[in-house]
Amino acid sequence: MKINAFVRIRRELHQIPEIGFKEFKTQQYLLNYISGLPPERMEIKIWKTGIFVKLKGRNPRKMIGYRADIDGLPIKEKTDLPFASEHEGYMHACGHDFHMSIGLGLLTHFNDNPIDDDLLFIFQPAEEGPGGAEPMLKSEVMMEWKPDMILALHIAPEYPVGTIAVKEGLLFANTSELFIDLKGKGGHAAYPHETRDMVIAACSLVGQLQTIVSRNVNPLDSAVITVGKITGGTVQNVIAETARLEGTIRTLNPETMIKVKARIESLVEGLKVGYECLAEIDYGAMYHQVYNDEQLTREFMKFTEAAAGVHLHCCTEAMTGEDFGYMLKEIPGFMFWLGVSSEFGLHHSQLNPDERAIEFAIDHIGDYLTFKGNEA
């Protein structure tokens, strides 16, 4: 394998980040590469901006799936890299360029070096939103090519290259977007008594939302409510008629998500009365928890622990959200963290993962899939 080729591929993909279901250049790039591989054992099917690639095994008894997500984020890149994003205001700030190049590396390797079992490579759009895994799982292609097991990775800036971090059971949290729109009555700043100020209402609501975790969630449970963006008003001397809160909810327990949302709705109803305003809640995209199959994860951990040059780290669960959880809900499998040694974390404008992790991942996952795809 020409590993350096996949570093080059990563850099070229890094330059063309696109958001969910608009990954047109990315899809074409992937198709151009895949169509250049020997076609004898390969079958390709398109789903929206995603791609399925099935590799026929020598003596198939099962199908093993490997998923790589392909979308970027609406973040302005600040890395000053020579291959920085050419799409202003967009960046591969979550490592999906790594995920794709590793996926292509594995596809290339197994196209040249077949194993007994069939392999299904899934290049999935819209992981960052609005969510591509769930509808892709329900697609006609997946119904025809549903794998018997599936795996995926996610880069982890906090771990050094050579590290695989994973655990059995719950790995990533249940997540939900949160959008709250408030509407009152605007007016002149000199006459506040004639208005219903939605900046004041929004500020009050943010404080109230933070009491949910501290006062309504069991201290032995875990939940997060983050309001990451507030917009309201038009100019400094006009009282705001509208305001909008944008945030996220994360829980380790699906039942806790239900309770948190019920409490949010109660607080918003109270706000409507107290501030004499209108309010609407939109939960946007919700992602199911990533729950790793215990048996398959234990097997992978045992394999990884015995591999030369690989450090296995038994991690704890995280409040990270990942729509791969929908696939794991229906198909046995697991996700793991891949160490990439970056000073800056996920979704940061200066994220710069160590590209040595690409070769490491292709080699290690390739060895595991060879072991798994040839077992009696």
pTM: 0.93
User: Over the chain (376 residues), what is each successive 10-residue block's mean pLDDT?
Assistant: 81 98 98 98 98 98 98 98 98 98 98 98 96 97 98 98 98 97 98 98 98 96 96 97 98 96 98 98 95 98 97 96 97 98 98 98 98 93
Helix (H) or strand (E) holding 232: strand 223-232
Using the Cα atoms of residue 113, residue 114, residue 115 and residue 120 in order, give the sign of their dihedral.
Answer: positive
Distance CA 304, CA 333 (A): 16
Q: Which residues are the active-site residues?
A: 69, 128
Question: Per-domain residue ranges for the chain?
Answer: 3-171+289-373, 174-286
Distance CA 5, CA 13 (A): 12
pLDDT at 260: 98
Q: Parallel, antiparallel, or unpaired: how do β-strands 63-69 and 118-124 relate?
A: parallel
Q: Are 120 and 102 spatial neighbours (Cβ–Cβ below 8 Å)?
A: no
Choose which CATH entry (3.40.630.10, 3.30.300.30, 3.30.43.10, 1.10.630.10) describes domain 3-171+289-373. Answer: 3.40.630.10
Distance CA 178, CA 279 (A): 13
Q: Which of 134, 152, 154 is nearest to 142 (CA)?
A: 134
Helix locations, the chain, DSSP H: 3-14, 24-34, 96-112, 133-137, 140-144, 198-216, 254-274, 294-306, 324-330, 356-373
In the numeric block, which tokens belong to residue 227?
């309001």
Count, residues in the chain: 376
Distance CA 183, CA 280 (A): 9
Q: Which of 245, 94, 253 is nearest to 182 (CA)?
A: 245
Q: What are phi and psi of 352, to 5 degrees?
A: -145, 80
Choose which CATH entry (3.30.70.360, 1.10.240.10, 3.40.50.11720, 3.10.580.10) describes domain 174-286. Answer: 3.30.70.360
pLDDT at 3: 52
